Amino acid sequence: MSMRIFNAGCFVSRGRGRHPERVIASDELIVVTQGRLEMFEDDRIWRLEPGDWLLLRHGHRHGGINDYPKNLSFFWIHFLDENGDFFDALPCHGHAAGNSPLAEYLRLFLTEQTVMPPDAEAQSHLFSLITIELGRSASNPCATAPVSPTARAAMRYLELHRDESLTVAGLADILGCNIAYLGRLFHRVYGESVSGALNRLRVEKAAGLLLSSQLSIKEIATGCGYASPLYFRRRFAGRFNMTPGQYRRIHTLGHRNTE
């Protein structure tokens, strides 16, 4: 595979503008982490939710079809697949499972991007890990099978209300279904439990705030729905294998952009 990697970043929307309409000389990978991104490429339209990824080919016109929502964030990498092998091996769209390390690999890629002088070998290895995760999600039946409306409604509710006091039983009541049924359905569709998804969404938001804000760890814990900072630290360490303070010191967004 002949691959050239150019640059990468994390886009954080302030609720203004939209993705520019353009034809560029590089390929692009987009991975949505929060909110909804609506894009087109030629005559195809994509509506990307958290966990969705999209590959855009060089030489094809693409752009946004709606203004950016305020809660949107996504990773992007510009690269060039000179021989077309990368695109032959993968579909242009997929969805990463909830326990996928894809977002963490992307954060590490951005951190590596800040190293001077640049280490092309390290970037290549990280891009290979990202490619492996794309392949796994593309071959995951949950990524392509029709999603149950109840399961989708549950995930959407978790995404919108993750900062609030919320239980699995309370969510089942809101959706008007049995708690055991909701648990089985949710796990079959998303490959994780409802409580696991809620904690993942909370700590992933916390990870973003650790990198993009000056809030204290206690303020971040409270803002992400955790009444106990100690419990938040345990859940965070379970996800990232380090404390929130260590994560803030070690990581950087590398290249963060807005509208």
Summarised one tens digit per residue, pLDDT across range 205-244 is 898 888 778 899 999 999 999 999 999 999 999 888 889 9
Name the stretches of the chain with pLDDT < 70. 1-2, 138-147, 251-259
Backbone angles phi, psi at 136, to 5 degrees: -65, -45
> How far is residue 250 from each of residues 102, 104, 211, 244, measured CA to CA in Å?
18, 13, 10, 10
Quote the pLDDT of residue 144.
44
Residue ranges in the chain assigned as alpha helix (H)? 85-89, 102-113, 120-139, 141-144, 149-161, 168-175, 179-190, 194-212, 217-223, 229-240, 244-250
Cβ atoms of residues 140 and 91 within 8 Å: no
DSSP 8-state code for residue 191: S
Cβ atoms of residues 213 and 256 within 8 Å: no
Put the strands of the sheet holding 27-34 in their side by side order.
93-95, 52-56, 27-34, 73-81, 3-12, 256-257
Cis omega before residue 117 (within 30°)? yes
Quote the pLDDT of residue 139.
56
User: Domains, the chain, ranges and CATH?
Assistant: 3-143 (2.60.120.280), 146-250 (1.10.10.60)
Put the strands of the sheet holding 37-41 in their side by side order.
44-48, 37-41, 62-64
> How far is residue 249 from each of residues 124, 205, 228, 242, measured CA to CA in Å?
24, 17, 22, 11
Quote the pLDDT of residue 60.
93
pTM as predicted: 0.66
| 3-state secondary structure (DSSP) of residue 79 | strand
Strands 3-12 and 44-48: unpaired
Distance of CA 9 to the CA centre of its chain: 13
